[in-house]
Amino acid sequence: MSFLLILNITLLLLVLFSVTLSSSSSSSTEFVYNRNFNSTNINIYGNATIQNSILTLTNQTFFSIGRAFYPQKLPTKQNKNSSIFLPFATSFIFSISPCKNFPVAHGFAFIFSPSMVINGALSGNYLGLFNRSSSGDDSNHVFAVEFDDFRNEEFEEVNDNHVGVDLNSMISKYSEPAEFWGGKNGEKLEKLKLSSGENYQVWIEFRDFEINVTMAPAGKRKPKKPLISKPINFSRVFLDEMYVGFSGSTGKMVDTCRILAWSFSHSNFSIGDALNTKHLPNYVNPKKFMYKSKVFIICVIFGLVLVFGCCSLVLFILMRIRKEEKEGEFEDWELEYWPHKISYKEICDGTGGFCEENVIGIGTSGKVYKGVLKGGEEVAVKRFNHDTQHGMRGFLAEISSLGRMKHRNLLGFKGWSKGKGGKLILVYDYMENESLDKRIFECEETKLLNWEQRIRVLENVASGVLYLHEGWEFEVLHRDIKASNVLLDKYMNARIGDFGLARLQHQELVTDTTRVVGTLGYMAPELVKVGKPSTATDVYSFGILVLEVVCGRRPIVMDEPPLVELVLSLMEKGELSNAVDERLKRQIECKYNIVVAERLLHLGLLCASFDPCVRPTMRQVVKALEGVKCTECNEECVHVSLIRKVNSAASWSKSSTDSARVNFPTLDDILPYKYFSGDSLSVSCFSVEPISDSLSEGR
């Protein structure tokens, strides 16, 4: 009896163990495929194929879908009434290789699906999972991990090489670029190119409501850190039983997606180690011979062009340096002349490369720059616009003579140089107070020259012009006396600039001796007509300068009569004092003398006489300026005869309205002008007869 009881209990325990074992085996699945896929262990649909025991989902067929599933449904829960999902671990090795001469897209996905068949799913971006209307619908019950090599902005994808976790939708819940944690200690993210054809191993694990996705090149150990590790809830996704497998698709762009090995388990999270990663086929496209590829040919052509360009640039730079060195070299004959040549580099450095900010004057022949030579000496640098076409040697011989001219009222000449293209550069002393033109017309009233300073400037200019005419071994004509060519030093002493250069420029630029060189408003009438300069034409220009300084008005002003004509008209009316600069009348600290002012105006008119024979010489002008301020002249004064003419003219101007006018000299007695106003001209024109050479050269 007892024996039978023991036997019954034993049989009952065996039955209970068998039931428990059966229940456990029904809720746990595990398989491993190492390049042994076949029609019995894998169900394939659409464009999927099995070739040489390797599962191929897509090929270069356009707009195709390929699916492959484990043949049997797998449980997702321990029992139907449980709300806890079974954990699982799967690992597979895949390769996505590009098709020759086709753009690459769209990849594949590992999926859990309630159905194996393709029912209304779209190819291309949808990977054969959903269509436009079903994507995002909870009734899909699809969980997928996509390996996508095309970026679709509609699905908010991060790039064209990413891994995403999808729940019932093509818009991934989690997404990361395809990378793996590598490096020495597994702390460095390294990029993977999904469509390179390389073999990659993936580990997908789910337990405790967390999904982990890890990947690495096949053959490497599983990284310690997953690429994606996020919480996940399958309550709206998983049914009690689901199919597990893969789905891939193509569109206008294609690629070949292959699964080389696959393992799955509900309990063994080391199942991935069972995959054989050695001796796997290689699907990386063989590289073309470099010399046959288009990229190589383009690179060679580009390289040749680059080398040629670099060689040309180096040759150009060397030639330019050589040219600059040659321009900076001193030839033996150049050392014979004084001042000596200054190197072009020193001048260029001293002017900041002829920077526009250093321009202190602009003339018809070129610009004037402020510069600093070695040693800190400030200079004015004039760079001419034209080059020396008819020989530098003769040009320098004449400049050398001018450079040796020394006078307190001539601008100091420092040296010369040849610029690019043979253009002449002259270096002068720098004048701190700039030009007379600026201190009369282009400055504030606080910096305006007062009466005494103006008289001293005129005396200085007259002295300098006299030296040019009579004080040197040969006669030098300035030919361009004007306010802008009168420079002022720090003591307000005047110095004449550009002396003799008009003549030199004339010789360099033209061979026609009738060409006029000068400035409009300062040129004598006979110079305009016959083009023959003389000391008398310089005297005429000085007379205009005298009127300009006293009147504070330029020789020619738009819509107004010329300065000479204006002063003459005021003289005829007996209102000569009205010609004086009104700003001088407002100066309190240094008042002008009306008698001296009128004498200066008469002197200016005398110098600007129409007839060059009437004009005084510069020596007479200098003496006249000495006597203009003299109030105790007697018959022994050297300048008394000229002063008598000036005073007589002044007396006539004051009494021009009296009935006894015939008792005083007429204008013709002192300034025999014969002028007329042309209808077609805005200035007075003087009728003049040609002047003999003996007259033009004898002054």
CA–chain centroid gap for 393, Å, is 42
* Cα 132 to Cα 555: distance, rounded to the nearest angstrom: 89
Closest to 548 (Cα-Cα) out of 556, 536, 538:
556
148, 149, 160, 480: the active-site residue: 480
DSSP 186-200: S-EEEE--GGGS-EE
Copy the structure tokens of residue 611: 């007839």
Copy the structure tokens of residue 646: 């000036």
CA distances in angstroms from 139 to 72, 235, 299, 482, listed in the order given: 21, 12, 55, 100
Please say if 559 is a catalytic residue: no
Closest to 617 (Cα-Cα) out of 551, 680, 688, 537:
537
Residues 6+ apart with CB under 8 A from 645: 606, 670
Report which secondary-structure segment, H or E, holds 112.
strand 108-113
C-beta neighbour count of 678 within 10 angstroms: 10
* Cα 30 to Cα 272: distance, rounded to the nearest angstrom: 11
Q: Are strands 494-496 and 423-429 parallel, antiparallel or unpaired?
A: unpaired
Return the residue matching tokens 């054969």. 128
* Cα 646 to Cα 392: distance, rounded to the nearest angstrom: 47
Q: Which amino acid belongs to residue 370? A: K
Q: What is the CA radius of gyration of the chain?
A: 53
Return the residue matching tokens 């994808």. 157
Report which secondary-structure segment, H or E, holds 413.
strand 413-418
CA distances in angstroms from 160 to 66, 182, 259, listed in the order given: 21, 22, 21
Copy the structure tokens of residue 417: 């140089």
Closest to 56 (Cα-Cα) out of 94, 9, 14:
94
CA–chain centroid gap for 172, Å, is 46
- Catalytic residue ranges: 480
